[in-house]
């Protein structure tokens, strides 16, 4: 262990695999560690480069190991897979991580602090409640359809569905059906209340955070998107350009180029799906309801005139991602036109 220069750590719930190599890449050891042995192992180890796959609990272990002075780097699982020689085992995985972390062109995942993870937990908890509410609403709509009651899709029809359930005795449906469906209605109402509480926390957090306030000057970007950006991408400076940031979200087209011919397909849809969906919804808002004379909105309206709506929305979402990167990295706020600024000032005075 004294000669180890590179460590590949394959983390798990209870049993960890650690692969060590010297400065020339020659393997030195490949052994298992129990969870309680991991920190003691790295505390005794001379300072070295440690690679970990970016997965569940990886940020926690990276912070703990870095306290001992080691250079800890997180690697996306997709990039590690290319270094797995054969088969699938913890020993092969840790060896692949050890090799991948030494590559000069490797891209690493920034290690999140506990506060950054806490911000992400608020957003993810809200997303969980929203998914559960959608599931419960769909179940309520489907079961009422069995009783001959049809409603539109979306959460907007919940008021009608709840009123139908609570007036079901007048229609002559069995009481057992009313009791069962009432449980679903109450669950949806409880989830909606929890979502509202988290929304208030997100808005309060956005009002206190300087970066979020600057992001909310962009047309279509509100507290939820600003919070999602800060939670999911806390260090946008890790990206070389705004295009790299948009590509990381999955809003750039796939490339199928060869022989000097450039062929671009649909967007890659790689990266975080929630952030990509939120930016798409923001783009839909810009194309549909935002009344602004800012350059970006004018460009979006012109694009909508010559492209299908969804194609234009994806392009606007890409534009929003680039503007977000520019504001976070270079500072400042989104500069709107003088016409828009004067009209907003007049409205506030009125």
Segment 38-60, tens digit of pLDDT: 999 999 999 999 999 999 899 99
For residue 254, the model assigns a pLDDT of 83
Structure confidence at residue 344 (pLDDT):
37
Which whole number is the average pLDDT over 214-233? 90
3-class DSSP assignment, residue 257: coil
Q: What is the pLDDT of residue 31?
A: 94
**How do beta strands 49-53 and 264-267 pair?**
unpaired
Give the architecture-level CATH label for domain 6-109: 2-Layer Sandwich (3.30)
Candidate from 74-78, 202-206, 233-237, 298-302 with smallest mean pLDDT: 233-237
pLDDT at 172: 67
Least confident of 55-59, 167-171, 330-334: 167-171
**Phi, psi of 128, rounded to the nearest 5 degrees:** -60, -45
Among 253, 309, 246, 303, CA closest to 279: 246
User: Coil, strand or helix: which one is 70?
Assistant: coil
Instruction: Give SS3 for 56.
Output: coil
Q: Does residue 149 carry a pLDDT above 50?
A: yes
Per the DSSP assignment, residues forming a β-bridge with 262 are: none
What pLDDT sits at residue 349?
34
Q: What is the average pLDDT score of the chain? A: 88
Distance separating alpha carbons of residues 20 and 162, to the nearest angstrom:
61
Q: Kindly list the distances between the CA atom of residue 236 and the CA atoms of 81, 135, 331, in Å, as whole numbers in the listed order.
A: 25, 34, 12
Domain boundaries, the chain: 6-109, 114-208, 211-341
For position 290, what pLDDT does the model report?
Answer: 78
Question: What count of other Cβ atoms lies within 10 Å of the Cβ of residue 130?
Answer: 17
Task: Give the C-alpha separation, 171 to 26, whole Å.
Answer: 78
- Percent share of the chain, pLDDT over 90: 57
Range in 41-45, 134-138, 168-172 with the lowest mean pLDDT = 168-172
| Averaged pLDDT for residues 283-304 | 86
Mean pLDDT, residues 135-142 taken together: 94
Q: Across the strands, what pairs with 72? A: 50
pLDDT of residue 280: 93
At 146 the three-state DSSP class reads coil
Phi, psi for residue 80 in degrees, rounded to 5: -75, -35
Q: CA-CA distances (angstroms) from residue 305 to 54, 221, 251, 300?
A: 42, 23, 21, 9
The pLDDT tens digits for 79-130 are 999 999 888 899 999 999 999 999 999 989 889 999 888 888 988 899 999 9
What is the pLDDT at residue 174?
83
The predicted structure's pLDDT at residue 39: 95
Residue 348 has pLDDT above 60, yes or no: no
**173, 179, 184, 189: CA torsion to nearest 10:** 110
Q: Is the pLDDT of residue 340 over 60?
A: no
Q: What pLDDT is stored for residue 170 in this prediction?
A: 64
What pLDDT digit, counting tens, does each position of 244-262 carry? 999 989 998 887 777 778 7
């Amino acid at each position: 262990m004294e000669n180890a220069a590179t460590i590949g750590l394959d983390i798990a719930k209870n049993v960890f695999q650690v692969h060590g190599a010297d400065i020339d890449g020659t393997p030195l050891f490949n052994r298992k560690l129990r969870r309680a042995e991991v920190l003691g192992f790295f505390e005794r180890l001379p300072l070295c480069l440690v690679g970990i796959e970016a997965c569940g609990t990886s940020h926690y272990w990276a912070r703990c190991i870095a306290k001992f002075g080691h250079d800890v780097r997180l690697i996306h699982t997709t990039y590690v897979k290319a270094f797995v020689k054969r088969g699938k085992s913890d020993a092969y995985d840790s060896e692949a991580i050890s090799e991948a972390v030494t590559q000069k062109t490797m891209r690493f995942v920034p290690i999140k602090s506990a506060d950054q993870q806490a911000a992400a937990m608020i957003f993810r908890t809200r997303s969980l409640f929203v998914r559960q509410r959608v599931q419960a609403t769909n179940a309520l709509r489907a079961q009422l359809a069995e009783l001959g009651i049809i409603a539109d899709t979306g959460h907007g029809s919940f008021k009608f569905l709840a009123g139908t359930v609570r007036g079901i005795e007048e229609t002559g449906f069995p009481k057992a059906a009313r009791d069962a469906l009432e449980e679903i209605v109450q669950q949806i109402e409880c989830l909606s209340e929890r979502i509202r509480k988290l929304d208030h926390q997100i808005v309060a957090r956005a009002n206190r955070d300087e970066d979020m306030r600057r992001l909310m000057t962009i047309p279509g970007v509100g507290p939820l998107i600003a919070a999602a950006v800060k939670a999911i991408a806390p260090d946008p400076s890790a990206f070389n350009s705004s295009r790299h940031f948009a590509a990381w979200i999955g809003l750039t087209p796939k490339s199928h180029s060869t022989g000097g011919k450039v062929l671009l397909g649909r967007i890659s849809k790689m990266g975080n799906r929630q952030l990509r969906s939120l930016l798409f919804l923001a783009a839909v808002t810009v194309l549909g309801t935002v009344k602004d004379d800012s350059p970006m909105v004018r460009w979006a309206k012109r694009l909508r005139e010559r492209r299908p709506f969804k194609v234009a929305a994806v392009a606007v979402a890409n534009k929003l991602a680039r503007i977000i990167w520019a504001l976070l990295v270079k500072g400042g706020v989104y500069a709107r036109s003088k016409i828009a600024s004067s009209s907003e000032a007049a409205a506030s005075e009125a």
